[in-house]
Amino acid sequence: MSGVQTTIKAKAHVYGDHIDTDRIIPGKYTKTLDMTTLANHVLEDLDPNFNKIVQQGDILVAGINFGCGSSREQAPLALKKSGVSVVIAKDFARIFFRNAINIGLPVLEIADHNIQKGAELDIDLKSGIVKDLTVDVTYTATKLPDIMINILSEGGLVNYLTKYGDYSL
């Protein structure tokens, strides 16, 4: 993966199920091309402190149906700009999942994870192996389709299409 960092060791911020795109970035903030504005309001209706405590490289962990709701790409963009390096969830809403890959934010689906707040995680994106160093448990994420791996490997769809000009399966 030339376009993205493939190993990540960082702290997990853990939230629950069905975190919708309005909670990731409320609609009233979406009409901007200024990513800092987005990052300043990320997750504010879920956890007003998130923007203050998130550190560059941190990992966001959630339950089922993460990113349900709107097609707004501002949701993964806000997370990425705030410093989140990867999102792990039990499963993702479809459009959020695609958007995250398209903008180069790695997403890992681990249906049975039991990662707790503050856990130290060691992630290998290539293999999808996630080690929870706090409790010494290892998980393997669901494998992405090749086309998604290829898009993510280039750092997102803009780079992918700039390089190849079209999709290839």
Partner 1 sequence: MGQTISEKIISNHIGKKVYAGELVVSEVDGCMASDTTGPLTIKAFHEMGGKKVFSPDKCALIIDHAAPSPNERIANLHKMMRDFAKEQGMRLFEIGEGICHQVMVENAYVKPGNIFIGADSHTPTYGALNAFACGVGSTDLAATMMTGKIWLKVPQTIQINCSGKLQEGVTAKDLILFLVGKVTVSGATYQAIEFTGETFERLSLASRMTVANMSSEMGAKTGIVHPKGLKLDYDFEAITPDEDANYIKTFDFDVAGLEPQVSAPESPDNVHNISNYEGTKINYAFIGTCCNGRLEDLNIAAEILKGKKIHPDVRMVIAPASQSVLLDAISNGTMSTLIEAGASLITSGCGPCVGTHQGVPADGEVVISAANRNFRGRMGNPNSNIYLGAPSTVAASALEGQIVNPKKYLV
Q: How many CB atoms lie within 10 A of CB 49?
A: 9
Indicate the burial class of 48 (C-beta count within 10 angstroms; 0-12, 13-18, 19 or more): exposed
Shorter beta-carbon distance to partner 1: residue 10 or 87: 87
Counting contacts by CB under 8 A, is residue 22 touching partner 1? yes
Which residues, in sequence order, are CB contacts of 91 under 8 Å at separation 6+?
Answer: 64, 65, 66, 109, 111
Angle, in degrees to the nearest 10, between helices 157-164 and 146-153 = 90
Q: What number of chain residues touch partner 1 (CB under 8 A)?
A: 43
Shorter beta-carbon distance to partner 1: residue 12 or 77: 77
Q: Candidates 78-86, 110-118, 130-138, 154-162: pick the segment binding partner 1 (CB under 8 A).
A: 154-162
The full DSSP string for 23-85 is HHS-GGG-S-S-HHHHHHTTTTTT-TTHHHH--TT-EEEE-SSBT-S---THHHHHHHHHT--
- State which of residues 6, 40, 51, 65 lies at the interface with partner 1 (CB under 8 A): 65
Binding mask 110-149 for partner 1 (x = CB under 8 A): -----------------------------------x-x--
CB of 164 to partner 1, least distance (A): 10
Virtual torsion, Cα 58, 62, 65, 67, nearest 10 deg = -30
Shorter beta-carbon distance to partner 1: residue 13 or 41: 41
Counting contacts by CB under 8 A, is residue 20 touching partner 1? yes
Q: Which residues of this chain interact with partner 1, rule CB under 8 A?
A: 18, 20, 22-23, 26-28, 30-33, 45, 64-65, 68-74, 77, 91-95, 98-99, 102-103, 145, 147, 156-158, 161-162, 165-169
